[in-house]
Structure 1
């Protein structure tokens, strides 16, 4: 997000659009201390299992997603959130189209 947009009210769900058969991302903030990124997943799309060196919070804005953390599945819908701990394998899959906000704090 550019500096001139920092003092503007925005609807998160309108800042990223779905694309058929794809995962779309848009970085909102990118600082040395962390990132805030919006994602739009088409149905059936996802992120394969991986780890990250920092804790990350997923907040589902709309739609439905399955988040697996250390192999345990969690079903999240609009308004739900979950923390993915650092260095723990996790994956995401769109049960239906969904948008999420990912907040990663580098500490």
Structure 2
């Protein structure tokens, strides 16, 4: 499911979209435009995402499940309702302790000069 135009409203019940694979990751792009992308990630328990970086700012909003995010060397517990902002180029890795679903929002890099 992808909505490619920013000029239309979009509504979804996230629990209805969550599907866990037997292993690994299932992702669904919910909305994408020229400036941002909203993707639902569903990780099977035990799945690990190796340390990496992104050229864009990112936000993780946990919908359900539990896991651990290592962001710039700091461990952050992931549980429903947790919101994490990750600046562009920040090293991060993730582990799903149990089935884990979250929305990953990618946005343009904000210049530190404007903050």
Residue-pair matches, total: 105
Q: Match for residue 59 of structure 1?
A: 61
TM-score computed with the length of structure 2 as normaliser: 0.83
1:48 to 11, 33, 50: 50
Quick check: 1:16–1:26 contact (8 Å CA) kept in 2?
no
Specify the structure having the higher radius of gyration (Cα): 2
The equivalences for 1:1-80 within 5 A come to: 1-2=2-3, 7=9, 9-80=11-82
Partner-residue secondary structure (3-state), 1:24: strand
Give the gaps of 5 or more residues in structure 2. 110-115
Deviation at 1:52, TM superposition (A): 0.5
Partner-residue secondary structure (3-state), 2:65: strand
Structure 2 residue 97 is the aligned partner of structure 1 residue 95: yes
Give the gaps of 5 or more residues in structure 1. none
Give the structure with the higher percent strand. Answer: 1
Runs of 4+ in 1 over 6 A off after TM superposition: none
CA distance in 2 between counterparts of 1:90 and 1:12 reads 25
TM-score computed with the length of structure 1 as normaliser: 0.89
